[in-house]
C-alpha cells in the first residue's frame, strides 16, 4: 500500500514538473518577440538523432534534433545560451534539422534575444 502511494506521488510530481517546463516555454514563446537583442557568437551547433524502435521488431526510426550553444554579453555580463527557440522541434529527416541550423554556423555572429528581467534567458529565434 505504501509503495502504491509513492508511485502516485511520483507520477503527480512528474506531471507537475513537465507542466511547469511547458508553461515556462509557452511564456518565453509569447514574450520573446518583444525582447531586446544583442550580438552573440555561436560556440557550437549540431544535429543528432534519437533512435526509437519502430512498429516492426528490429526496425529503428529516427527523430532528429538540434542543439546549440552560444555566448552573448548584456551590460558587461557574459552569458551562455542553448535555446534555439522556446519549444524544441523534432524533425523526421536529418536534412530538415540541418536546414534549421544552417543560419547558425560555429563562430558566426548571431542575434540573441534575451529576457530583460532575466538576461540569462535567451533564444535565437523569438516567438
Instruction: With a cut of 80, say whether residue 53 has pLDDT above it.
Output: no
**Domain boundary assignment for the chain:** 2-123
- 90's CB contacts (< 8 A; 6+ apart) are 50, 63, 64, 65
- Residue-wise pLDDT for 72-118, tens only, equals 999 999 999 999 988 777 788 899 999 999 999 999 999 999 999 99
For residue 50, the model assigns a pLDDT of: 79
Q: Considering only residues 54 and 74, tell me which one the structure prediction assigns the higher pLDDT.
A: 74
Q: Which tens digits make up the pLDDT trace of 13-52? A: 766 666 666 667 767 777 888 999 999 999 999 998 877 5
More reliable by pLDDT, 53 or 49: 49
Q: φ and ψ at 57, to 5 degrees? A: -60, 130
pLDDT at 17: 67
pLDDT of 60 > 80? The answer is: no
Please give the C-alpha separations between residue 98 and each of 11, 60, 68, 91, 92, in angstroms, as whole numbers: 36, 21, 12, 10, 11
Amino acid at each position: 500500500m505504501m509503495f502504491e502511494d509513492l508511485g502516485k506521488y511520483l507520477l503527480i510530481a512528474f506531471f507537475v514538473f513537465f507542466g511547469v517546463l511547458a508553461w515556462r516555454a509557452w511564456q518565453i514563446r509569447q514574450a520573446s518577440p518583444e525582447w531586446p537583442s544583442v550580438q552573440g557568437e555561436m560556440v557550437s551547433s549540431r544535429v543528432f538523432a534519437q533512435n526509437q524502435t519502430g512498429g516492426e521488431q528490429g526496425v529503428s526510426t529516427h527523430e532528429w534534433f538540434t542543439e546549440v550553444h552560444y555566448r552573448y554579453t548584456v551590460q558587461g555580463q557574459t552569458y551562455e545560451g542553448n535555446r534555439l527557440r522556446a519549444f524544441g522541434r523534432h524533425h523526421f529527416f536529418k536534412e530538415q534539422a540541418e536546414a534549421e541550423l544552417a543560419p547558425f554556423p560555429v563562430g558566426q555572429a548571431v542575434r540573441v534575444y534575451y529576457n530583460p528581467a532575466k538576461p540569462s534567458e535567451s533564444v535565437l529565434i523569438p516567438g
